[in-house]
């Protein structure tokens, strides 16, 4: 499987059979690292929840302009917003290659706001993307790990990943750090998980890598 991270939580996963984009959010879109013109195929878009850093309509519209029949897999609340925008190819249940294994709320946002719906998915029985949660119940061989957030912490991310014990970890949700802080955190995670025989990948935005 080939993966490409496009800033923050946006992740492109490609197999010989299927290409899926996860969480096309505002930070990713405005970074300019994603160019839809270079994408030859897009079968599905997974949106784990409705927050703007995971779901940005200008990003979605750009995808639809090139791939008008692309399927969306998402929560009921996001599905309603997509339907209101005239989009019809939407699923709130598992598909052949995308398994929604958990439908729980986003991590607690109290006292600032309520937590929206959040889906966690497995793709191709190999990659797990959980959205904004540090209480996932399971993981496949590769885990896209939310490593920092206003609602979370590096510590909680590390504890969850250790419990899930994937073979490889791809860090996501790290727009909040500057480059130096990000690299320092990556180094800490790589050292910690290396002692657990878990490979921590240090992605560069817009550059593909094999997992």
Percent of all residues in the chain with a pLDDT value above 90, rounded to a whole number: 96
The predicted-structure confidence for 108-144, as pLDDT tens digits, reads as follows 888 889 989 999 999 999 999 999 999 999 999 999 9
Write out the CATH class of domain 2-203: alpha beta
The predicted-structure confidence for 1-53, as pLDDT tens digits, reads as follows 999 999 999 999 999 999 999 999 999 999 999 999 999 999 999 999 999 99
User: Longest Cα pair distance anywhere in the chain, in angstroms?
Assistant: 49
Question: Domain segments of the chain: what residues?
Answer: 2-203
Q: How confident is the model at residue 203 (pLDDT cuts 50, 70, 90)?
A: very high
Within 98-195, residue ranges assigned H as helices are 154-164, 179-194
- List C-alpha distances in Å: 143 to 20, 106, 136, 165, 199: 15, 17, 10, 9, 10
| Strand, helix or coil for residue 161 | helix
- Identify the pLDDT of residue 109: 84
CA–CA separation, 11 vs 40, rounded Å?
A: 16
């Amino acid at each position: 499987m080939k993966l490409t991270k496009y800033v923050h939580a946006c992740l492109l996963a490609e197999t010989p059979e299927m290409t899926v984009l996860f969480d096309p959010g505002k930070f990713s879109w405005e970074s300019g690292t994603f160019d839809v013109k270079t994408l030859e195929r897009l079968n599905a878009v997974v949106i784990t929840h409705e927050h703007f850093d995971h779901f940005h309509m200008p990003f979605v519209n750009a995808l639809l302009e090139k791939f008008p029949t692309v399927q969306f897999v998402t929560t009921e609340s996001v599905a309603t917003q997509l339907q209101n925008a005239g989009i019809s190819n939407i699923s709130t249940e598992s598909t052949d290659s995308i398994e929604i294994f958990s439908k729980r709320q986003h991590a607690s946002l109290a006292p600032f706001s309520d937590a929206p719906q959040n889906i966690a998915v497995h793709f191709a029985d190999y990659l797990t993307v959980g959205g904004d949660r540090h209480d996932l119940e399971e993981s496949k061989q590769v885990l896209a790990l939310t490593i920092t957030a206003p609602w979370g912490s590096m510590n909680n991310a590390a504890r969850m990943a250790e419990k899930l014990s994937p073979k490889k970890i791809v860090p996501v949700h790290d727009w909040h750090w500057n480059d130096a802080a990000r690299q320092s955190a990556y180094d800490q995670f790589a050292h910690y998980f290396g002692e657990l025989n878990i490979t921590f990948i240090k992605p560069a935005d817009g550059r593909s890598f094999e997992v």
